[in-house]
Amino acid sequence: MNSNPRDNEVTMNLDRRSFIKCAAALSAVTAAGSIFPGISFADWKRQEGASGMITWKKAPCRFCGTGCGLLIGVSGDRAVAVKGDPNSSVNKGLCCVKGYHSVQALYGADRITTAKVKRNGKMVEVPIQEALDIVAAKIKETIGEHGKNAVAIYGSGQWTIPDGYVASKLFKGCLGTNNVEANARLCMASAVTGFMTSFGLDEPMGCYEDIDHANVFITWGNNMAEMHPVLFSRMLSNRKLRKDVEIIDFATRSTRSSQAADKSILFRPQTDLAVANAICYEIIRNNWVNWDFVNKNVSFHKGKTNIGYGLEDNFQFTDKEEPLTFEQYKTFLEDYSPEKVEKLSGVSARDIKYMAALYGDPAKKVTSFWCMGMNQHSRGTWINNLVYNIHLLVGKISTPGNSPFSLTGQPSACGTVREVGTLTHALPHGAVANPEDRALAEKIWDLPEGSIDPKPTYHTVEMFRALDRGDIRFIWIQVTNPMVTMPKLTRYRDGAKKEGRFIVVSDVYPTPTTDVADVILPAAMWIEKEGMFGNSERRTQHFEEIVPPQGEAMSDTWQIIEVARRLGFEKQFPWAKEDYIGKIWEEYRRFHDNPKHNMAPYTVLKERPGVQWPFVNGKETRWRYNPEYDPACDKGRDFHFYGQNDNRAWIWARPYEPAAESPDKEYNFWLDTGRVIEHWHTGSMTMRIPVLYNAVPSSYVEIHPDDAADLGVVNGEMVKIISRRGSVTMPASILGRGVPPRGQVFVPFFDERYLINEVTLDSFCPISKQPDYKKCAVKLEKA
Amino acid sequence: MRPSGKTIGTWGPVLAAVCFLGLGTLQITTAQAATAMIFDQGGEVLYKQYDSTPDNYLATGSGGRNLNSYYALRQYPGSPPRIPHPVEESFSTAPVNCLACHAKGGYSAEYQNFIPVTPHPEKELCTQCHVPLKETKSRFPENRWESINPPKLGRSMLGGSPPPIPHSLQMRENCIACHTGPAAVAEIQIGHAARGNCRQCHVPMVQTEPMKVYIRK
């Protein structure tokens, strides 16, 4: 079968004569019995003049944050096959459905291969150099008229490290605006603030090898069977091989991961905060505390409470830390006895005690995994802190198999957003508010002192609010699709469409975001350019340009360089096209020149499937804060949490607080949004991969069978989901892959034909500013 | 959940069905079709069976069954196979007895072969769907029935990529049951059940259903 949309026209134009011919062909076929009905992959167009030989080249996968090592099969100038890289310790030769078919996403029929500019309300093709002229001129004009903080760049955890680095250098350094954000704000900002508040340094202490050592896996709101399948199957095979392994799925709905787990425990949305505290309560009540570890390595703290939800424009929040004694912390936990929490959370006291006993059993190594369930949470920072609390109380951290493990959703959310610091408050090293960090950046970037603004501007939600208000007039969006992913989407789409806004979008396919663009720049995709991604376990992975970019497509890095030079920053962007990635990497590496964060040299990255940082004296660091593995630790101690000033990890007293919006009499359902294994994010790539599109060709709303019966809908019938923001009508899925409890519905957000984010709420964690996509109130109608 | 896509023109449905057979490229389905996920809920059976089946058993193949003998028991690909051995009458009232052998498999001394494992042991009224045919020497009544050819194997989308699952998942979600073990049909026995999360790599794409093309509106 082929994927050419023009085939439609063929069918539509079939007249009666063709039909008869067709029927004749059919009977001939039936008689011969030689062709079966079904997909004939033999119908793919064959590469002309191909030798039949395949060259294999390494690249990290384009999709999730697991960061599987792939080998890309190349024939001529085209990618034709994929296999798992057996040399990659991440996936050991295995991929998932998305990875195996990833290269097909390069060849969708509607790839953007030329630049387009809006003229008289219509998008017209122009040479890319002309489009870049327009972008540069518009930046200059906007700054002249509205000031430097009226221009912004909004990137992505799918940016390569050089992409994000040059974006930060141009906007924060040269232009002096902190209007640099990335969609990773929507996906792991709470993980960052969780790490920063608990440990003072970002990113996990452990690595995927923990999976081969742990006896207990507890997944917190994390459907790994679909979202991190390669790590999940590694868990399963460990359970099968070692026998002393169990998996506990702690979630708000029943998923494929629940089916595989030894125990599935469901909690009511938002009450994970209370359950985590109840687990700590039980650990202390039973004296399972690892006192030796706690006395040497932990200090206790509290912050502000009733911290709000960020629903109003210009919302501000700064947390205030106060030290606590252990006794005060213990008193704080008194509100969280399992019996009390049972009423709130719907989790039986028995199950809470069971989980606490697993964490508390000194003979068991415990790894906790989480991702969006804990991060896309109006108290995302808190729930991250609370799970660290559990691990810290029992001292199960920074040793093989004992690991609180925050997974990421994008291939370079860690590498490009967290490490390069493409968020408004951050720099490649440290924060804009910190004079030494600014001085270091100005020195490396060869900029005069004072070039970098010490004041952060807008986090992502506020950035799009500023665009709506008119405080931001120009925004350049790269490698992301906010017109599908922003919560409370209608406001931000209307804002982007307003007069006097100039939207530049660099992308590879038309999306609802290119629909609102004034300039569309064709981007080189993934292996059409050289770059690096950084995955969830601090692993940096390099890939070269394996196939040439299509048409006039240009790497996002080079687009920014071209614009920077047009703005007069040749000195800061001097590189040649032949070796700019290597040069940029070596410049960037200077920011992390210390044993806590040293990155591998370019030459090493090119040789290996991936290298973990800190990379010190030619060695990767697998477990941080443990002197046995981490050279940054002081010798002579069991652990050294060197990120915080007191050289300890911090336990935080964080209470339960409700979500911004909970179901009531009128809007009586929880709405949860998420993903399926076949599709990635907004589907702009995976929907164009035939096998993935056919497996799940449409989004749907999962409804509990009893709720569906009350509503009078059967599988596939249309349901209208209505919130105070908007509504969407989509097919019901009853007893499908996932089953929510009564009173909850779940919608995968990949399908731009059903914009569920017109329904969601833009509440966010006041500390991380990451929106809560998992909780808002809706009502349902049969459509 | 059946696709609710609109087909084009009066001839659309006929053409869609008919042309597809001969000229695969002519099929079109509009993009709005919902996914057929109703039979996507039995993962637990698979995971349990994976976990409880010893590695060496997973990897063993006896070659005792092959696709020819497999399809010979089926009226069409996907139909419930008839029971190829004598069944005592009493079995129809005590269906669970089938599971004595077919739940876990193993070697049958009586039939000198390995016993196929059912992918749906939770369904206990076996004879509801599986017909115990008495041995007979006469032919069935003549019938002009024509079957379709079974799905072809190994139809990967890319060279070397894991082939999609060519059959519906209805009653057949437990991959381990049919694709591993000594009774597995030789041609579809897999040698890499190591990680147990089959659909991590294999996407369901029913070969007898038209292939959809994503077209952005």
Q: Write down the pLDDT at residue B123.
A: 81
In chain A, which residues have their Cβ closer than 8 Å to the Cβ of B148? 36-37
Same domain, B42 and B139: yes
* Contact check, Cβ <8 Å, B2/A30: no
Whether A13 has a pLDDT exceeding 50, the answer reads no
Same domain, B2 and B49: no
Radius of gyration of chain A (CA): 26
Q: Is residue B132 part of a domain?
A: yes
Instruction: Kindly give the residue spans of alpha helices, DSSP state H, lying in A306-379.
Output: 326-332, 338-345, 349-360, 372-375
Same domain, B14 and B47: no
Same domain, B73 and B147: yes
Beta bridge partners of A695: none
A55-107, what's its fold?
Phosphorylase Kinase; domain 1 (3.30.200)
How close, in Å, is residue B145 to chain A by CA atoms?
12
Determine which of A106-110, A549-553, A734-738, A777-781 has the lowest per-residue pLDDT on average.
Answer: A734-738
Domain edges within chain A: 6-43, 55-107, 115-184+412-574, 187-411, 669-760
In chain B, which residues have their Cβ closer than 8 Å to the Cβ of A260? 43-44, 47, 197
Beta bridge partners of A522: A507
Facing residue for B213 by CB, picked from A5, A38, A696: A5
Pairwise CA distance, residues A190 & A187, whole Å: 8
* pLDDT 10s digits, A484-500: 999 999 999 999 999 99
Write out the H or E segment, with its range, that includes residue A265: strand A263-266
Pairwise CA distance, residues A237 & B180, whole Å: 16
Q: Write down the pLDDT at residue B20.
A: 36
Active site residue A187: yes
Same domain, B122 and B28: no
Whether A760 has a pLDDT exceeding 70, the answer reads yes
CATH class held by domain A115-184+412-574: alpha beta
Facing residue for B35 by CB, picked from A35, A39, A697: A697
Q: What would the CATH number be for the domain defined by A187-411?
A: 3.40.228.10
CA dist list (Å): A756 to A6, A142, A581, A603: 30, 33, 38, 45
* Contact check, Cβ <8 Å, B22/A5: no
* pLDDT 10s digits, A103-128: 999 999 999 999 999 999 999 999 99
Q: Write down the pLDDT at residue B16.
A: 38
Residue of B nearest to A29 (CA): B22
Q: Write down the pLDDT at residue B89.
A: 65
In chain B, which residues have their Cβ closer than 8 Å to the Cβ of A696? 35, 37
Q: What is the mean pLDDT of residues A583-587?
A: 98
What the block records as the tokens of A285 is 């009540």
* pLDDT 10s digits, A359-381: 999 999 999 999 999 999 999 99
Pairwise CA distance, residues A417 & B119, whole Å: 46
Facing residue for A37 by CB, picked from B21, B196, B199: B21
Closest CA to A289 of A651, A764, A745, A766: A651
Same domain, B58 and B2: no
Determine which of A30-39, A241-250, A358-367, A696-705 has the lowest per-residue pLDDT on average.
Answer: A30-39
Whether A17 has a pLDDT exceeding 60, the answer reads no
Q: CA-based angle A547:A550:A554, to the nearest 5?
A: 90
In chain A, which residues have their Cβ closer than 8 Å to the Cβ of B15? 11, 14, 19, 22
Same domain, B24 and B94: no
User: What percent of chain A has pLDDT above 70?
Assistant: 94
Facing residue for B212 by CB, picked from A82, A697, A736: A697
Q: Write down the pLDDT at residue B169.
A: 87
Residue bearing the bigger pLDDT, A274 or A4: A274
Same domain, B43 and B29: no
Residue bearing the bigger pLDDT, B88 or A261: A261
Determine which of A282-286, A315-319, A371-375, B63-67 has the lowest per-residue pLDDT on average.
Answer: B63-67
* Contact check, Cβ <8 Å, B8/A11: yes
Same domain, B17 and B94: no
Q: Write down the pLDDT at residue A642.
A: 97
Same domain, B60 and B138: yes
Pairwise CA distance, residues A244 & A217, whole Å: 11
CB A764 within 8 A of CB A310: yes
Pairwise CA distance, residues A577 & A164, whole Å: 17
β B113-115/B106-108 pair status: antiparallel
* Contact check, Cβ <8 Å, A737/B38: no
| Ramachandran category for residue A446: left, alpha or beta (phi over 0 → left; psi -120 to 50 → alpha) | left
- End-to-end distance of chain A based on CA atoms, in angstroms? 34
Pairwise CA distance, residues A169 & A149, whole Å: 15
Facing residue for A737 by CB, picked from B40, B158, B209: B40
* pLDDT 10s digits, A147-170: 999 999 999 999 999 999 999 999
Pairwise CA distance, residues A545 & A59, whole Å: 10
Pairwise CA distance, residues B114 & B186, whole Å: 12
Domains of chain B: total: 2
Residue of A nearest to B215 (CA): A5
Q: How confident is the model at residue A475 (pLDDT cuts 50, 70, 90)?
A: very high
Q: Is residue B217 part of a domain?
A: no
Residues 6+ positions from A754 with CB-CB distance below 8 Å? A698, A699, A728, A729, A730, A747
Active site residue A599: no
Q: What is the mean pLDDT of residues A170-179?
A: 98
In chain B, which residues have their Cβ closer than 8 Å to the Cβ of A68? none
Q: Write down the pLDDT at residue B93.
A: 54
How close, in Å, is residue A218 to chain B by CA atoms?
17
Please tell me the total number of residues recorded for chain B in this structure: 217
Q: Write down the pLDDT at residue A480.
A: 98
Pairwise CA distance, residues A139 & A444, whole Å: 24
Q: How confident is the model at residue A23 (pLDDT cuts 50, 70, 90)?
A: very low
Q: What is the mean pLDDT of residues A617-635?
A: 95
Residue of B nearest to A21 (CA): B19
Domains A55-107 and A187-411 share a fold: no
Residue of B nearest to A104 (CA): B158
Q: Write down the pLDDT at residue A560.
A: 98
Q: Kindly indicate whether the ipTM for this predicted assembly is greater than 0.85, answering yes or no.
A: no
- Which phi and psi (to 5°) does residue A691 adopt? -65, -35
Cis peptide before A614 (omega within 30 of 0): yes
Q: Is residue B107 part of a domain?
A: yes
| Residue for token pair 């003549």 | B142
What is the average pLDDT value for chain A, to the nearest integer? 93
Pairwise CA distance, residues B115 & A174, whole Å: 73
CB A399 within 8 A of CB A179: no
CB B146 within 8 A of CB A37: no
* pLDDT 10s digits, A677-733: 999 999 999 999 999 999 999 999 999 999 999 999 999 999 999 999 999 999 999
Q: CA-based angle B77:B82:B87, to the nearest 5?
A: 165
Is 2.40.40.20 the CATH number for A669-760? yes
In chain A, which residues have their Cβ closer than 8 Å to the Cβ of B1? 700, 715-716, 731, 733, 736
- Which phi and psi (to 5°) does residue A119 adopt? -130, 125
Instruction: Tell me the residue range of the domain where B25 lies.
Output: 1-34
CA dist list (Å): A396 to A213, A370, A392: 12, 16, 6
CA-CA-CA-CA dihedral for A179, A182, A185, A187, to nearest 10:
170
Whether A470 has a pLDDT exceeding 60, the answer reads yes
Whether A49 has a pLDDT exceeding 50, the answer reads yes
Q: Write down the pLDDT at residue A79.
A: 95
Q: What is the pTM of this model?
A: 0.89
What the block records as the tokens of A522 is 């064709």
Q: Chunked in runs of 10, what are the mean pLDDT values of chain B (217 residues)?
A: 36 38 35 46 81 81 86 88 81 67 90 91 83 70 81 83 89 90 90 84 87 88
Determine which of A195-204, A253-262, A316-325, B62-71 has the lowest per-residue pLDDT on average.
Answer: B62-71
The angle that helices A349-360 and A338-345 make with each other, rounded to 10 degrees, is: 120
Residue of B nearest to A95 (CA): B201
Same domain, B14 and B61: no
At A220 the three-state DSSP class reads: strand
Q: If 0-12 CB within 10 Å is exposed, 13-18 middle and 19+ buried, where does residue A54 land?
A: middle
Write out the H or E segment, with its range, that includes residue A560: helix A556-566
* pLDDT 10s digits, A414-441: 999 999 999 999 999 999 999 999 999 9
Active site residue A529: no
* Contact check, Cβ <8 Å, B216/A510: yes
* Contact check, Cβ <8 Å, A7/B149: no
**DSSP secondary structure code for residue A46 in this structure:** P
In chain A, which residues have their Cβ closer than 8 Å to the Cβ of B37? 696, 700, 733, 736-737
Active site residue A372: yes
Whether A462 has a pLDDT exceeding 90, the answer reads yes
Q: What is the mean pLDDT of residues A339-346?
A: 98
DSSP code per residue over A463-524:
HHHHHHHTS--EEEEES--HHHHSSSHHHHHHHHTSTT-EEEEEESS--TTGGG-SEEEEBP
Closest CA to A703 of A377, A254, A264, A258: A254
Q: What is the mean pLDDT of residues A273-279?
A: 98
Determine which of A38-42, A567-571, A588-592, B122-126 has the lowest per-residue pLDDT on average.
Answer: A38-42
Q: Write down the pLDDT at residue B94.
A: 57
Residue of A nearest to B24 (CA): A1
Same domain, B56 and B155: yes
* Contact check, Cβ <8 Å, B213/A690: yes
Q: Write down the pLDDT at residue B142.
A: 74
* Contact check, Cβ <8 Å, B159/A54: yes
Strand segments (E) across B29-129: 106-108, 113-115
Q: Write down the pLDDT at residue A383.
A: 98
Residues 6+ positions from A678 with CB-CB distance below 8 Å? A97, A98, A686, A692, A695, A696, B203
